[in-house]
Structure 1
Amino acid sequence: MKAVFKFLRYATDHKGLIFLNFIFNLVYIVFQLVTLLMIMPVLKFLFSKDQAPSEIKSGGIDMGSWFTGLYHDFMQWFALMVKGEPVKALMLLCIALVVLTLLKNVARYLAMNFMVLIRNYSVRKMRVNIYEKCLQLPVAYFNEEKKGDLLSRMSNDMKEIEFALMVSLEALYFQPLNIIIFLIALVALSPKLTLYILIFLPVTALVIGLVGRSLRKKSIKNQMLIGKIMSAFEETIGGIRIIKAFNATSFFGKRYRAEDHEYTRNNIGVQRRYDLSSPLSETIAIMVSAALLWLGGNMVFRKELDPEFFLTYFAIFSQLIPPFKGFSSALYASQKGMASLERIQELVSAPVVVQDPERPKTPSFTDSIAFKNVFFSYTENPVIEDVSLEVKRGQTIALVGPSGAGKTTLTDLVARFYDVKKGGIFMDGVDIRDFRQDDLRKLIGIVSQESVLFNDTIRNNIAIGNTNATEQEIMAAAKAAHAHEFILASENGYDTNVGERGSKLSGGQRQRISIARALLKNPEILILDEATSALDSQSEKAVQAALEVLMEHRTSFIIAHRLSTVQHADKIVVMDQGRIAEIGTHEELMGKNGLYAGLIKLQKL
């Protein structure tokens, strides 16, 4: 039941809908019970020789004056209505059955309608929470987790949770309510017979619990395996050109088949356990029914029980079997859904390492950015070690050095994608950790090597950093980025869809749209991370011209492997193994004949 209550936490915002669902379910059950209870007095009237109420025999058990009184009142009213005519009695019974069935099904429909609203609103809330959590999580989280597995959590796991949430609500409200009301009716009719039924409950609970725990373990593994399959598929689609170029289709096919085989084998185990719930609960119910028939039948033979009374009792008991099966199936489904919920909870409860301060300061950049004895590491091994550097407002700083030297990491620390482990980065003397992340990033624009465009129009991709921008401002940014001409020449101009990740555009076009985006944001600090390294000579020339416009009057950090593009920087910082190896202008560093000069010579070869 713990699994059921965990799901219900997501439905607590909709107490009004839950209450309405409960009320209409209650109405449905009451009408259903009344329909069944009508059988006994009607049968008594139809088949009794004296056509008058008589004492109800219930195995020597006193049913209580309230039930006996109800019985006699109803029989007197019924006798008055039919006036001793069996055909009229049968007609009234048929009309009553139709009316009661109609009313109870209307109530059930309304209850299910409210359940649909509860389920969809609750799952929508969960999806939005997951998405917003993903936006809050640090960049490092997405470097460590597989994209396919995250997509699987958002799709497959959410489907499992949606179903489990529905059956959990049914398990807590409808099925137990159904069982309890019918049990009360059975106890009122015959406590002795009902006692025999209740003896079987502990055995039933034990069997269901054992199967449920086994199902949950298998389901956790199942969702993990389907996440691996999604990751493999996503990876294959992203790298299909390389896979084909290196004739690696058989290798990747073999690897995928192995992962899919493991998932299929585990999924068969999950389905077998889940499918066991209904026949298992039905078998137990039939065993109880057989015992009830034996006991009740013998009481009828001994004339301790009226036949019509026992038929009514057994009819009511038979209505316990569907909710009992439904309750056990719901428990199994909630156990299966718990595996998905745990995977979702892992994501939702993942720590947000980079936090906003409780009392944030407003960032102001009028003087300088200072790195003071900065240390940083992703795991145990340091990536940045004891870096101290001052960057004056308006300066252009080039970060160069071998791959893995820590250049990109250093600029990521400026944008607070990560926080430093030791030391600090200060803007006008204030630690940037004292600023809200959003406030700090308003000052920063980034153009990276891989232009990240979204499956939307060119206009919307440019306006991401400034959604309130006018058409004139967007076009001005595109013109400054040397993108206006090719945009107008495209199919729908600024309303042209760029495709997934900008697949409908060339590399140079994507990069110029990224530059237009940065220009529209109008940041005070600019980070250019290998912004032209992936372009051909013609595209690079156009992009470089756009970058020069972008860098005017801004503080710029340029990360470059092509050193010819950074020789005019105010400072060139040479990184090596996370430390600053050299610092100075191009001429000063060439005069030192150190690491920078060596890199220049290598590129001239």
Structure 2
Amino acid sequence: MSLLQIYWRALTYLGANRLKVTVVVIANVVLAAVSIIEPILFGRIFDAISSNSPVTPILLAWAGFGLFNTIAYVLVAREADRLAHGRRATLLTEAFGRIISMPLSWHHKRGTSNALHTLLRAAETLFGLWLEFMRTHLATAVAILLLIPTAISMDWRLSLVLFALSIVYWFIGRMVMKRTKEGQASVESHYHNVFSHVSDSISNVSVVHSYNRIEQETRALRDYTKNLLAAQYPVLDWWALAGALNRTASTVSMGIILVIGTMLVQNGELKIGDVIAFIGFANLLIGRLDLLRQFATQIFEARAKLDDFFVLEDSVEEREEPAGLAELGAVRGKVEFRNINFAFGGTSQGVHDVSFVANAGETVAIVGPTGAGKTTLVNLLQRVYEPDTGKIFVDGTDISTVTRKSLRNSIATVFQDAGLLNRSISENIRLGRDGATEEEVLAAAEAAAAADFIQTRLTGFDTSVGERGNRLSGGERQRIAIARAILKNAPILVLDEATSALDVETEARVKVAIDRLRENRTTFIIAHRLSTVRDADKVIFLEQGRVAEMGSFDELSDKGGRFASLLKTSGLLTDDSKTAAE
């Protein structure tokens, strides 16, 4: 995108506050226009002094104008600040909502820290652009347009110097932007690397401590920041050179104006007050040219930060659900996978030609080695991913024709990683159903064998679980996740290694709760521990993303295939037990 396209798109975010923004901008334009009066009054003061004319009225007018200008500027700047801060807060909220709504495949491909860093950098950049737009950008353009004809009307010869200065500013700015375009893009890339490394290390701080990686991680960050500075310094050097050249050009221009002005006064062609007024105009113009240069620099730096953000925004819009999708009504629980194919981008991993039916109220166990596609199947059911080909039906309805929200309202999931938020135990359980009463939360906790350990905490259900539940044991986290699913009371239940973190005694207690929960619900159990799937109505054995075997637990045990082989490996099936069963 060009600089102007970047700038225009940045301003479109102000559309929600169009009226207030317009008022603030007009006020700043008016202030910029009337600021031209100040050097005129200043020049007349000196003319009055040199001609022994009354100077008091002009001094009072000058002082009153200055006071008005100061008060008006403060009031307008205050409103601009409020608008920019408010819009930034809204942008963060809106963009956050869109980003977290994206499918997991999008997050896995892009990286969570990358998306977060892109959003935060863009929010600050847009804030700066909005603030300066309301305060100075249009005001600067208007002031320059008014200053030039006013200066020419005073003396065209002195105006030529200002015109030449403007060309020099433009040339210097264009040269520096051309020289630093690639460098600024590289700087943003290095910023992403620094942020990603910090985020990665802190989110895995327990591993860093356990393996004594503190020094190595710090050293790696130091290397990343060195690379960042190595890319940043040349860009800063060019802009420092631009500043020096602009300052030199403005100083030389002022010197030329003084020399020419002195000659014109000595020749009687100008009054000394006119020269002083013109010097005031020159200072105003130089100040506005400096603001114009800062504007160009700001847009130039913003492009590297906003290009990626706009790509992110566009990708979010592309993945938004089309309007008019139906709502999935009351669900009995019949689920059909019909010729489902899905592959992760650039790999052969996924699921291939999977077809099966889970009748309402049945329990289906999905087993197989790591990476076989077990979790991928239930993610497809919840439309975390969309199948490349094939369809999934719930009670005969193609789930691609209904909203994700209505579909997921009918599914309760207990993940292998409990997935607790850094909130209270009560709030984490209530994720299952907003508005649940305290009695309902307690009942869900009791059903999940979690009430006992919760009540041993000093603050009970108000206890904060910490980041990702790190203040609780693995078993405690899992029981809260189960309580959350119990509270949701959905017709379809997904248990993704739901008891993997529990000890034998607790697992037995939770299994009773799960068995009650499974009644009259279609349940999908994903498990490595094959002992947990014994009661399933149907077992689907996946291997390399394909259905290798399908049947009841006993059927597959007797078949002597891959499932039976795994049972033998885990000690759950022996030749003696098979003979006894026969």
TM-score, with length taken from structure 1: 0.88
Q: Is the 8 A contact 1:455 1:500 kept in 2?
A: yes
Report Cα offsets for 1:522-565 as digits up to 9, x if no partner: 11101111112233334433433332232222110000000011
- The equivalent residue for 1:4 is 7
Q: Is the 8 A contact 1:432 1:440 kept in 2?
A: yes
Q: How big is the shift at 1:574?
A: 0.3
Q: How big is the shift at 1:215?
A: 4.1
Please point out which of 430, 442, 450 is paired with 1:483. Answer: 450
Q: Is the 8 A contact 2:429 2:480 kept in 1?
A: yes
Residue 38 of structure 1 aligns to a residue whose secondary structure is helix
Residue 458 of structure 2 aligns to a residue whose secondary structure is coil
- Report the count of equivalent residues: 567
Residue 465 of structure 1 aligns to a residue whose secondary structure is coil
- The equivalent residue for 1:584 is 551
Q: Percent identity, aligned pairs only?
A: 27
- The equivalent residue for 2:47 is 44
Equivalents in 2 of 1:277, 1:134: separation in Å? 39
User: Please, which runs of 5 or more residues in structure 1 have no aligned partner?
Assistant: 52-85
Please point out which of 372, 375, 391 is paired with 2:338. Answer: 372
Query: Which deviates further from its counterpart, 270-279 or 551-560?
Result: 270-279
Equivalents in 2 of 1:356, 1:16: separation in Å? 31
Q: Is the 8 A contact 2:169 2:293 kept in 1?
A: no
Matched, 1:537 2:496: no
Matched, 1:113 2:78: yes
Matched, 1:228 2:193: yes
Please point out which of 228, 244, 251 is paired with 1:286. Answer: 251
Matched, 1:163 2:128: yes
- The equivalent residue for 2:107 is 142
Amino acid aligned to 2:342? F
Matched, 1:18 2:21: yes
Please point out which of 195, 215, 218 is paired with 2:183. Answer: 218
Please point out which of 394, 408, 421 is paired with 1:427. Answer: 394
Amino acid aligned to 1:294? V
Amino acid aligned to 1:177? V
Report Cα offsets for 1:174-226 as digits up to 9, x if no partner: 22222223223212222343234223433321221232344453333222222
Please point out which of 310, 324, 328 is paired with 2:293. Answer: 328
Equivalents in 1 of 2:172, 2:449: separation in Å? 72
- The equivalent residue for 2:169 is 204
Q: How big is the shift at 1:463?
A: 1.0
Please point out which of 198, 203, 228 is paired with 1:263. Answer: 228
Amino acid aligned to 2:261? G
Matched, 1:103 2:65: no
Equivalents in 2 of 1:276, 1:175: separation in Å? 23
- The equivalent residue for 1:387 is 354
TM-score, with length taken from structure 2: 0.91
Matched, 1:410 2:377: yes
Report Cα offsets for 1:482-513 as digits up to 9, x if no partner: 22222222121222211111112111111111
Please point out which of 528, 549, 558 is paired with 2:525. Answer: 558
Q: How big is the shift at 1:166?
A: 2.3
Report Cα offsets for 1:39-86 as digits up to 9, x if no partner: 3334333323xx6xxxxxxxxxxxxxxxxxxxxxxxxxxxxxxxxxx5
Please point out which of 248, 260, 264 is paired with 1:295. Answer: 260
Q: Quick one: structure 1 residues 421 and 501, their matched pair in 2 at CA, closer, same or farther if it must change by over 3 Å?
A: same
Equivalents in 2 of 1:574, 1:523: separation in Å? 25
Please point out which of 493, 498, 508 is paired with 2:475. Answer: 508
Residue 350 of structure 1 aligns to a residue whose secondary structure is helix
Report Cα offsets for 1:87-125 as digits up to 9, x if no partner: xx3433433332211101011112211221231133223
Report Cα offsets for 1:417-447 as digits up to 9, x if no partner: 1111111111222211011110111100000
Larger Rg, first or second structure (1 or 2): 1
Residue 534 of structure 1 aligns to a residue whose secondary structure is coil
Q: Quick one: structure 1 residues 275 and 167, their matched pair in 2 at CA, closer, same or farther if it must change by over 3 Å?
A: farther
Residue 604 of structure 1 aligns to a residue whose secondary structure is coil
User: Please, which runs of 5 or more residues in structure 2 have no aligned partner?
Assistant: 573-582
- The equivalent residue for 1:151 is 116
Equivalents in 1 of 2:486, 2:322: separation in Å? 27
Equivalents in 1 of 2:135, 2:249: separation in Å? 21
Equivalents in 2 of 1:211, 1:168: separation in Å? 23
- The equivalent residue for 1:55 is none
Equivalents in 2 of 1:354, 1:201: separation in Å? 47
Q: Quick one: structure 1 residues 219 and 540, their matched pair in 2 at CA, closer, same or farther if it must change by over 3 Å?
A: farther
Q: Quick one: structure 1 residues 504 and 536, their matched pair in 2 at CA, closer, same or farther if it must change by over 3 Å?
A: same
Residue 385 of structure 1 aligns to a residue whose secondary structure is strand
Equivalents in 1 of 2:490, 2:545: separation in Å? 27
- The equivalent residue for 1:306 is 271
Q: CA RMSD, aligned part only?
A: 2.3
Matched, 1:518 2:485: yes
Amino acid aligned to 2:527? A
- The equivalent residue for 1:347 is 312
Matched, 1:28 2:24: no
Q: How big is the shift at 1:28?
A: 2.9
Please point out which of 400, 404, 418 is paired with 1:451. Answer: 418
